[in-house]
Structure 1
Amino acid sequence: MAKIGINIATGSLQKEEMIVGIDLGTTNSLVAIIHPESKQPIALKEHNSSSLVPSVVHFDEMGGLTVGEEARKFLITEPQNTIFSAKRLMGKSYNDVKQNASFFTYKVIDDDTESLVKVQVGDKFYSPIDLSSFILKELKARAEHILKTPVTKAVITVPAYFNDAQRQATRDAGKLAGLDVLRIINEPTAASLAYGLGLNKDEQKTIAVYDLGGGTFDISILQITNGIFEVLSTNGDTYLGGDDFDRAIVKHWLQQTGLSEEEMSGNKELSQALRLKAEEAKKHLSSNNTFEAKLNGDLLRITKAEFNELIAPLISKTIDSCRNAVKDAGIEISAIDTVVMVGGSTRVPAVKEAVSSFFGKPVHDEVNPDEVVALGAAVQADILAGNNKEFLLLDITPLSLGIETMGGLMDVLIPRNSKIPTKAGRQYTTSKDGQSGMRISVFQGERDLVQDNRKLAEFNLTGIPAMPAGLPKVEVSFLINADGILVVTARELRSGVEQKIEVKPQYGLSDEDVEKMLLDSITHAKDDIAKRALVEAKTEGEQLLETTEKFLTKNAQQLTQEELVQTAEAMQALQLALTMEDKDLIHKKMEELNDISRPYAERLMDMAVSQAMKGKTI
């Protein structure tokens, strides 16, 4: 007999299975569902509170963590233990975030390597996947509390410009939070669905989605044909948002009161109070002409006209992005049928006016701009649940497909539930100097280690010209055609050497097998991801030892005796850590080795540069 959960909040009977829509945002996140009775999308919230959960995680001294409104309070008092904007780090390497390192008040490990970025809090190291999973876990718990029913399946949204690694990282975070992520969909696509755009199979439309959040700005141009969304172009600024509006007001008030920025930054309580007052002023000025408040005996005052003047340069930056996006899409402004507004900061009247005047038409802002993306994700979830019979769901892949990488890890190229036909590719390289072959093993399944998944095929790519490790570029691409046949191709890009193999459709799995594999992946998610993190840390540690050794062999005579001894000790400590099953210890010892080698590596680099420059004029 099927169990039925009674939803106290809406007083209605519900099927046991609920697929929710989740907007995992940089500043705020939230969950939405299709209301079982009204059939309309609604954002979940307690009676009197907001639907928004700040995307902030705080760690206390005991290693306990809080997420959301509670954690936000620590942003000023304990910045080193309070993580915000983890979404900006998703799927990124250290090199990707280097130039914006000063933005983060917590410790982002700034090792100059290609591996994925980590955040250090105390003696523990967290990946952006861990941090996002804490936020998703909180959203899941909130949803279960409000709906009084288990929530295990979700559709999660990401920016249209997110690449493969960032999407996979979002999926992993969902899995770690105990969610089966049925689809990752683009935020602008979700916003369009919330307005019912693309739900009519016969319409063809070009849509501009203008999304101005707390800390990020995106503009996407989409084309919808027969219910299929295609992203024509995206543009934006990942460090521009409503927070900049607040900062502009704070600066204005500092001039007014004669306080200097140094005085303010030295006084955390004051700067926090000013920031909150500025946010209040911004909201107040959306429907009033002046804002006045007292703070520590000072009168803070700003008019709507002054505010508009302060933010004009910021708005015009977003309009430049819109101009570039239209140009990149290869269309005229007049070809855009609809403009949709997303993100809390689009409530500012000056923003709406600027966007409307640029596109030459009124903008859509009837749906709450904070909630519109989550509501659209709920519409997509409803389609996946099969409740929206209007909608044809194309054939999809039942399980993820990927290849085995170093340490026996599964690297997913085509996630489960991808529409067929589809293709995906990724570049790999060799791990040994002079390596002439590479084994490509194709697996199917949801677990992190290939040993727990099902092997479909294997072939060798041979004839790779001898090069140092890391130089060859091997592109592995998966193509699933309309008949569900998977073609795997591996090609070394520098030499053009190529191999391919065909894998037959459906791969002989019954529905029960698929169900079991999915269930296993959720029940073992925590262990799997811990194992994966350990394997990755070990691989990274081994590579660091290898490169340090090569460096020392080449440059030993340039180093002092003390530097050589310290490096040898740090290498030994790392070697020992690699034998322990503790990823945090490995990262810590890597960090210590890097701290020792960084000064002399930089010194030798400077020497080499000045040698090269001798006798040359610039």
Structure 2
Amino acid sequence: MATVSINLATGSVQKEEIIVGIDLGTTNSLVAFINPDGNPQVINDTGKGVLVPSVVHFQPDGSVIVGNEAKEHLITDTQNTIFSVKRLLGRSFDDIKAHSELFSYKIIDDDSESMVKINAGGRYYTPIELSAMVLKELKDRAEHALKTAVNRAVITVPAYFNDSQRQATRDAGKLAGLDVLRIVNEPTAASLAYGIGLDPEEEKTIAVYDLGGGTFDVSVLKIQNGIFEVLATNGDTFLGGDDFDQAIVNYWIEANQLQNRMNDDTLRQALRLKAEEAKKALTTQNLFNDFVGEIPCAITRMKFEELISAKVEQTIQSCRNALADANLNISDIQEVVMVGGSTRTPLVKRKVSEFFAQEVHDKINPDEVVALGAAIQSDILAGNRKDILLLDVTPLSLGIETMGGLMDVIIPRNAKVPSKAGRQYTTSIDGQANMKISVYQGERDLVKENRKLAEFDLKGIPGMPAGFPKVDINFRLNADGILTVEAVELRSGVKQKVEVKPTYGLTDEEVEKMLIDSIQNAKEDVSRRMLIESRTEGEQMVYTVERFLQKNKDQVSEQETLDTQKLLDALKAALVSGDKDLIHKSIDELNEFTRPFAERLMNVAIGTAMKGRRVE
């Protein structure tokens, strides 16, 4: 018996499961789909607005709210309200510590190169879990508006995102219950929204200028045979409309002599939100005049442009740099696409147009253009645009086994073939001479539930302390589906490689079953992965601290040793408990306690090493 699905929102017969396009943004996120007329359309669920603030708030009762309602708590509960989490995806504390003052919530410095964690609502979260909450909100809104299940999506990321940031975005989608069919570069999506690159005969070189709330980037793309190649990307991941707001706030602080009141979080946030209001108003009017309590907040467009001119000039310099990196002149750029809410600022539009010596594409709402393009990409993947060539793609993810029996994906499923990608790894034990590399295919987080393709040993790693060797593992998948896996220890040049045929012996039904299993078990898989990762991190911490105490027993006081041992015992007990948050809490406490005397010993060692040496 045949069955048909009716989309209750449109009243039309739905031929197959819908695929949505998602723009997961630093400041705001949104979701789009292809409507029955075949056009991309953003979703505005029950009048809540198209834009969903990328803000997560943890309430005292443990419940979580996302989006518009969560944004209200940015003023009232700064510690438990998380914003700009996209900046943290795939990043370690070392990556973001220079900008840690921009975050009002607690980011854990665990003195490692692993992904940062955030302490909120009495629990520890990874950026993946927090991003998944935003994606789940988008999924729920789409399902409510379209009156149908939404399980498949295309998600966009900045062109400069590296492999770990892209994989973190995929993992967040999976945790939100989405089968992420493709990760698409934001400039590619924006171009598709303007119809650029849809014609396979078209050859063009374009620039995409993307100025959002918190980030800026410019990408130079070459489009040929329907393929978008990123020639160069440049920008600043900590420059955006937020800086324009801050410039206005600083102006009002000075005008009203509020310098002594700036340790008041509530006032600072209230001024920031009023500045955002002023910035938006000044796109269409010449004067903004209002109050925050009794504080007058007035500014003219001329003054605003004067305040932000240096920041805008920075973005133009990035455009120059991108062109130089791509070995192109301004005359080589045939189209300029504007993306991001901050491009509405008249000064920005004017300066970009002057620099590229042409009119810019800004007719599509700059907040929506990326999501609309992602929806077009989803339509291409669904096979609804017959005129567009879909290149061969990998049916299942390819990766290696890491500590704790976890699958670390190197080439994700749906990556174009041929494809190449790599990651860097290190040793976990002092003097480790061999590293076993096991290659797997599949979508589950534990390797035992995936399909093993090959295994080999990288032998002869020189004896070094744990964490010192740098092992590059590179995957190359050719057009015939042959996978070459190569491992190289960079300090010594030790090398080993193996060839495998990843899809051999798998039927379409088996591939489909593996995909369905991965979606059905996504939440359980991610929970297990996070527990294993926290256990691995905890065990590494125990190993490191015990070794440190052993090596430095003469330099550490008896009381310090006793107190450290107590914290070590607490961490060991937490590792047995299987409670992820308790493990992170114990790691955090041990790290905080041992850091001062570890630093003290480091200073002594440096002092001894430098004694008698002249620094010129």
TM-score range, shorter chain: over 0.9
Is contact 2:75–2:270 with CA below 8 Å preserved after alignment? no
- Matched position secondary structure for 2:554: helix
The match for 2:187 is 188
Q: For residue 392 of structure 1, report the CA deviation from its aligned partner.
A: 1.0
- 1:237 partnered with 2:236: yes
- Matched position secondary structure for 2:390: coil
The match for 1:528 is 525
- Matches of 1:435 and 1:298 in 2, distance apart? 64
- Matched position secondary structure for 1:507: coil
- Matched position secondary structure for 2:87: helix
- Matches of 2:344 and 2:423 in 1, distance apart? 40
The match for 2:76 is 77
- 1:116 partnered with 2:122: no
Is contact 2:45–2:144 with CA below 8 Å preserved after alignment? no
- Equivalent positions of 1:199-598 (< 5 A) are 199-256=198-255, 258-266=256-264, 268=266, 270-504=267-501, 506-598=503-595
Q: For residue 449 of structure 1, report the CA deviation from its aligned partner.
A: 0.4
- Matched position secondary structure for 1:557: coil
Aligned residue pair count:
615
Q: What letter corresponds to residue 280 of structure 1 in structure 2?
A: E
- Matched position secondary structure for 2:465: coil
The match for 1:104 is 103
- Equivalent positions of 1:33-48 (< 5 A) are 33-37=33-37, 39-46=38-45, 48=47
The match for 2:13 is 13
Q: For residue 265 of structure 1, report the CA deviation from its aligned partner.
A: 4.2
Is contact 1:191–1:376 with CA below 8 Å preserved after alignment? yes
Is contact 2:482–2:502 with CA below 8 Å preserved after alignment? yes
- Matched position secondary structure for 1:403: strand
- Matches of 2:311 and 2:336 in 1, distance apart? 20
- Matches of 1:429 and 1:294 in 2, distance apart? 56
- Matches of 2:440 and 2:72 in 1, distance apart? 45
Higher mean alpha-carbon deviation, 508-517 vs 492-501, is at 492-501
- Matches of 2:333 and 2:546 in 1, distance apart? 58
Q: What letter corresponds to residue 13 of structure 2 in structure 1?
A: L
Higher mean alpha-carbon deviation, 375-384 vs 315-324, is at 315-324
Residues 411-435 of structure 1, C-alpha deviations (whole Å, 9 max, x = no match): 1111001111111112222222232
Q: What letter corresponds to residue 262 of structure 1 in structure 2?
A: N
- Matches of 1:440 and 1:255 in 2, distance apart? 60
Residues 238-261 of structure 1, C-alpha deviations (whole Å, 9 max, x = no match): 1111122122222223333x2313
Closer, same or farther in 2 for the Cα pair 1:49/1:543, shift >3 Å?
A: closer
Residues 304-332 of structure 1, C-alpha deviations (whole Å, 9 max, x = no match): 21111111111111111111111111111
- Matches of 1:465 and 1:605 in 2, distance apart? 25
The match for 1:26 is 26
The match for 2:146 is 147
Is contact 2:489–2:495 with CA below 8 Å preserved after alignment? yes
Residues 80-135 of structure 1, C-alpha deviations (whole Å, 9 max, x = no match): 00000111110111211111111111010012111111001143110000000000
Is contact 1:123–1:588 with CA below 8 Å preserved after alignment? no
Q: For residue 181 of structure 1, report the CA deviation from its aligned partner.
A: 0.2
Is contact 1:43–1:371 with CA below 8 Å preserved after alignment? yes
Q: For residue 75 of structure 1, report the CA deviation from its aligned partner.
A: 0.6
Q: For residue 15 of structure 1, report the CA deviation from its aligned partner.
A: 2.8
- Matches of 1:123 and 1:292 in 2, distance apart? 41
- Matches of 2:476 and 2:370 in 1, distance apart? 30
Q: For residue 78 of structure 1, report the CA deviation from its aligned partner.
A: 0.5
Higher mean alpha-carbon deviation, 63-72 vs 46-55, is at 46-55
Q: What letter corresponds to residue 544 of structure 1 in structure 2?
A: M
Higher mean alpha-carbon deviation, 297-306 vs 345-354, is at 297-306
Is contact 1:5–1:148 with CA below 8 Å preserved after alignment? no
Closer, same or farther in 2 for the Cα pair 1:297/1:604, shift >3 Å?
A: closer
- Matches of 1:580 and 1:294 in 2, distance apart? 53
Pairwise CA RMSD: 1.6
Q: For residue 297 of structure 1, report the CA deviation from its aligned partner.
A: 4.8
- TM-score, structure 1 length as denominator? 0.97
Closer, same or farther in 2 for the Cα pair 1:291/1:520, shift >3 Å?
A: same
Is contact 2:453–2:502 with CA below 8 Å preserved after alignment? no
- Matches of 1:2 and 1:455 in 2, distance apart? 38
Residues 573-598 of structure 1, C-alpha deviations (whole Å, 9 max, x = no match): 11121112111111111111112111
Is contact 1:188–1:373 with CA below 8 Å preserved after alignment? yes
- Matched position secondary structure for 2:192: helix
Residues 435-474 of structure 1, C-alpha deviations (whole Å, 9 max, x = no match): 2222221111000000000111222222333333322222
- Matched position secondary structure for 2:566: helix
Closer, same or farther in 2 for the Cα pair 1:505/1:119, shift >3 Å?
A: closer
- Matched position secondary structure for 1:508: coil
Which ranges in structure 2 are unaligned for 5 or more consecutive residues? none
Closer, same or farther in 2 for the Cα pair 1:294/1:427, shift >3 Å?
A: closer
- Matched position secondary structure for 1:183: strand
Which ranges in structure 1 are unaligned for 5 or more consecutive residues? none
- Matched position secondary structure for 2:115: coil
Closer, same or farther in 2 for the Cα pair 1:264/1:551, shift >3 Å?
A: closer
Q: What letter corresponds to residue 604 of structure 1 in structure 2?
A: L
Q: What letter corresponds to residue 260 of structure 2 in structure 1?
A: E
Q: For residue 614 of structure 1, report the CA deviation from its aligned partner.
A: 3.3
Q: What letter corresponds to residue 460 of structure 1 in structure 2?
A: D
- Matches of 1:435 and 1:47 in 2, distance apart? 58
Q: For residue 294 of structure 1, report the CA deviation from its aligned partner.
A: 4.1
- Matches of 1:436 and 1:255 in 2, distance apart? 61
Q: For residue 515 of structure 1, report the CA deviation from its aligned partner.
A: 1.1
- Matches of 1:614 and 1:583 in 2, distance apart? 45
- Matches of 2:502 and 2:607 in 1, distance apart? 60
- Matched position secondary structure for 2:56: strand
Q: For residue 276 of structure 1, report the CA deviation from its aligned partner.
A: 2.9
Is contact 2:207–2:220 with CA below 8 Å preserved after alignment? yes
Over 6 Å off, 4+ runs:
none
- Equivalent positions of 1:133-144 (< 5 A) are 133-144=132-143
- Matches of 1:478 and 1:566 in 2, distance apart? 46
Closer, same or farther in 2 for the Cα pair 1:374/1:267, shift >3 Å?
A: closer
Is contact 1:3–1:16 with CA below 8 Å preserved after alignment? no
The match for 1:67 is 66
- Matches of 1:429 and 1:259 in 2, distance apart? 53
- Matches of 1:193 and 1:436 in 2, distance apart? 50
Residues 518-542 of structure 1, C-alpha deviations (whole Å, 9 max, x = no match): 1111111111111111111111111
The match for 1:52 is 51
- Matches of 1:316 and 1:177 in 2, distance apart? 39
Closer, same or farther in 2 for the Cα pair 1:148/1:232, shift >3 Å?
A: same
